[in-house]
Amino acid sequence: MSNKLKILITARAGSKRIKDKNISLFNGKPLILPTFLAAIESNITDEIYVSTDCPKILELAQQNNLATIRRPSHLCKDTTSSDAVIEHFIGEVCSPKDTIILLQPTSPLRDHLDIKKAYNIFLESNDTVISVFRPIHHPLKSVLFKDKRCSPLGEFSQFGRDQDLPQIYTLNGAIYVFKVEEFMKNITIPMIFTPYVMPYSKSIDIDEPIDIKIAEIFSNHIS
């Protein structure tokens, strides 16, 4: 196996909050389809893999000429970590010098340009790249609830000015770019990384049924 860029799309059959979430309808089509199309249209590699235990997702992947990896049942539980799935993928098709772009189908508003931009940042920085967004409400202006009372979180006041607070971003789960050799050091994606900043409007992560409705609204306003 030569050293290559590989895109990994992970999508198990089950889901806690939304039945068959990864193939639930988003704008009238399976939720996973925008991720398939974004990976293909990024045109940065012809090695795109779908790791799943779902027959319908396997069929949809094959219809789009994507390589498939049948995920073993012990890696399809609610408690299974993404790291375990990535490790299995590496063991199946990767060489130590490969690079992986991980895409999760629960980020349907991430498009091919986002993938290309994140990968370009990776090439320039030679560092792990993870997509993030700037939260609408600064988390340090939250309060801590304990013993039935609330108190300021840390040293910052609820009434402090936003410009006086440290700049903070939130992971949106859309794009992860990393080297196999870096992942294998601790069997996890490195969490000290170079960010690819996305707008909030493209950072909706599908977790609850209402998220699909919100993402559909945003999708109609993204040019």
Domain ranges of the chain: 5-134+169-219, 137-168
Q: What is the pLDDT of residue 1?
A: 43
* Torsion over CA: 163, 173, 103, 28 (sign): negative
Mean per-residue pLDDT pooled into runs of 10, the chain (223 residues): 84 79 94 97 97 94 95 83 95 96 97 98 97 90 90 70 84 98 97 97 94 94 68
Are the C-beta atoms of 143 and 153 separated by less than 8 Å?
yes
Q: What is the pLDDT of residue 26?
A: 95
What's at 166, amino acid-wise? P
CA 96, CA 98: separation in Å to the nearest integer? 6
pTM comes to: 0.92
Q: Which two tokens stand for residue 100?
A: 């992986």
The domain defined by 5-134+169-219 folds into Spore Coat Polysaccharide Biosynthesis Protein SpsA; Chain A (3.90.550)
Q: What is the pLDDT of residue 59?
A: 95
* Alpha helix positions (H), the chain: 33-42, 55-63, 82-93, 112-125, 180-186, 209-219
